A and B are shown apart, each in its own frame.
Chain A
């Protein structure tokens, strides 16, 4: 059974595709949710093999969500959309398949067959990703899209990934690895990414360690491994 995740903002659309997938007998729906942020969370948590993804969704759309998924756990993607306004043909090579709503059961069977074939051949999905411009963050019951230029540093703890800006700290589902790969933020420690624009000074410590002082006075550790890289970047 192929493990599938459904992300669509309309509940009936989710149940319909789940029903159709169940009818094929080859796919197990391990989860479903109504927006890209929850979708990101579930991808990280459930590691599905395939993602049935709507494009037009609140706050972050399907493309933006894919952009924030770790490469290592990237599932195969089948776009499911009502109207082909993004000329999905162009994405055909990058994604496994795309379906148009209302979804035809027979058409879905072909998609599943293609999916099985791909998995048997053990082809990994490789999607070109773009630089992340805004990081979807959660604060209480609100979602905020934090611009990269607002970010001072990002740190990961057991509780998750925290984005610190000049005016507060937010929680995000996007991993440190993804943010390091797809943004201008610089890794300075196993658990920290720093925005170079907010560095006030770097204090050099014994044993090749360092400490960054940000413009608002926070102190961030710099590990031996990354200090060299940062020095190089700063032409020191």
Chain B
């Protein structure tokens, strides 16, 4: 009875010192190191750090211990066992050995047995680690139950070691009878609580990051469609509204290098769009190309425009695209409100995101520019051969038939006008056919009997929209590489018709020369690219060739035509 009372007293005393211990553990989980440490990949540096931390815990456990009969009832086992569970047998052993040696030098009749048993406890924790990892149970490394039972068994083993190694035996037995229960209970419980503190803290960080990721993603989602239209006053305002809504800051301002592009929130009565940048912090962010932060505490933000301005703190983040500074994003909080660190992080993150989006928008714009430039090239690629041969033909015809010559000149003029003037990206089938007609009338005059034309056009489709300058290059291709290389009579057949939910336009010649130059020429690939850009990826250009018999180049477009982008 007496013994039990003493034991209970010891249990409470040990639990008490364990509480101190847990406070330290709690503080550890608050350290920046803890945030960056990942259980699954322990780098040597992290291992070393963990070694020091757990060794300190373990040694502290000895110091906080309760001297009983020339021995110390303590919580040393927690550090060693947990080090083993978390870091493996090597780390556990190292921590156990360190704390054990320390205990050994403190002396007493259990010095040797306690020293050895602490090392054994560390290694036991390590064996549990190995077992869990081998059985793909890594998630249980931070399980309080595992920590509890491992420590429980480890402490029992320690008691046995004390009984086996400490002399004299009867004194050891008396000691074990007193300390066994409190130490086993206190250490197991302490380890379990320690682990659950670590686990809860981690979970909290995870939850927080989920929360912030969600916010950031939402902002990304909302801004991406805005910035694809470019970076200007209109889009800047929309972006500023999204940022303010998601972060809840007092005001958001967006500037380019000189002036305010957008300002929403408190103080927008005197922070007006279009004015020169007044904030010295923003100017500093631009001139030094770095983030400038005035937290409202030591560093205050003072409005240079109005004494009445409610704003008191600011975060100015430079907006860089491709290493070039194009403006700033500014998050403000009023004087009576704290600037949240999370908002600071979010502000910096979102700026990076916006940079990427602007870059992407620029890329898309460039891509369209390239296609437009290519169209220009295609248009400019009127073959000089065609032009001079046409003129030569018309001059010859002038002698015999001036009316026909006049008609041909008008067609030539029409052809050139169509080629030179194209401001829109789409044209109706009718316009395209008109262009091709002028071209073909001239080619027919050049080749006369060598060229025969056949047309089969569904007149209901005349209003259909196609990428401008689609048809003529295909027809020209058929003549230049087909008919003009034939000795016999050439036939060009142009047909436009519906075909299972789409419209097919085909140009067929009877030369069958395409196989000889099996790749698509520049002209054809530009036509194909523009159809894909303006009508969708599934549309395009197909080539079918039976050598010496026929070549069919056909394009397909949606039934409803192509749409302006």
Q: Does B396 have its Cβ within 8 Å of any Cβ on chain A?
A: yes
> Which residues of chain A (46-77) have a CB below 8 Å from chain B?
56, 58-59
Quick one: CB contact mask for A169-186 with B, threshold 8 Å, 1 for yes? 000000000000000000
A10 contacts which chain B residues (CB < 8 A)?
389, 392-393, 446-447
Is residue B207 within 8 Å, beta carbon to beta carbon, of the partner chain?
Answer: no
Q: Main SS of the interface on chain B?
A: helix
Q: A10-B447, A101-B391 are in contact. List 4 more A-B contacts (CB 8 A).
A: A10-B392, A13-B389, A58-B486, A100-B388
Contact partner of A35 (CB less than 8 A), chosen from B387, B389, B448, B487, is B487
Pick from B383, B385, B392, B487: contact of A58, CB under 8 Å: B487
- Tell me if A83 is interfacial: C-beta within 8 Å of chain B: yes
Q: How far is the CA of A86 from the CA of B362 in the complex (A)?
A: 42
Contacts of B273 in A (CB 8 A): none
Question: Is A231 an interface residue, CB under 8 A from the partner?
Answer: no
In the bound complex, what is the Cα–Cα distance between A59 and B548 (angstroms)?
A: 12
The answer to whether A82 touches B395 (Cβ under 8 A) is no
A-to-B contact residues, CB < 8 Å: 9-13, 15-16, 19, 35, 37, 56, 58-59, 82-83, 85, 100-103, 141, 143
- Please, which residues of chain B bring their CB within 8 A of the CB of A37? 487
Residues of B within 8 A of A (CB): 383-385, 387-389, 391-393, 395-397, 399, 445-448, 450, 484-488
A-B contact pairs, 17 of them (CB 8 A): A10-B392, A10-B393, A10-B447, A11-B448, A12-B397, A13-B389, A15-B396, A16-B396, A16-B399, A59-B485, A82-B384, A82-B388, A82-B389, A83-B383, A83-B388, A100-B388, A102-B395
Using CB atoms, name the residue of chain A closest to B488. Answer: A141
A residues less than 8 Å from B484 (CB atoms) = 9, 56, 58
In the complex, A11→B393 CA distance in Å?
Answer: 9
Chain A residues near B385 (CB-CB < 8 A): 56, 82-83, 85
A59 and B487 in contact (CB under 8 A), knowing A12-B397, A82-B384?
yes
Chain B residues in 8 Å Cβ range of A143 = 487
The answer to whether B487 and A102 have CB atoms under 8 Å apart is no
Q: Please determine whether A102 and B448 come into contact, CB atoms closer than 8 angstroms.
A: no
Q: Which residue of B lies closest to A102 (CB)?
A: B392
Assess whether A16 is in contact with B392, with CB atoms less than 8 Å apart. Answer: yes
Give the 8 A-B residue pairs with the shortest CB-CB distance, closest first.
A16-B396, A82-B388, A12-B396, A101-B392, A102-B392, A83-B384, A12-B393, A82-B389
Give the distance in Å from the alpha carbon of A103 to the alpha carbon of B389 in the complex: 10
Inter-chain CA distance A55–B529, complex, in Å, is 33
Q: Give the distance to chain B from A80, nearest Cβ to Cβ, in Å.
A: 9
A187 to chain B, nearest CB (A): 31
In the bound complex, how far is the Cα of B395 from the Cα of A141, in angstroms?
A: 33
**Closest partner residue, chain A, to B490 (CB atom):** A58
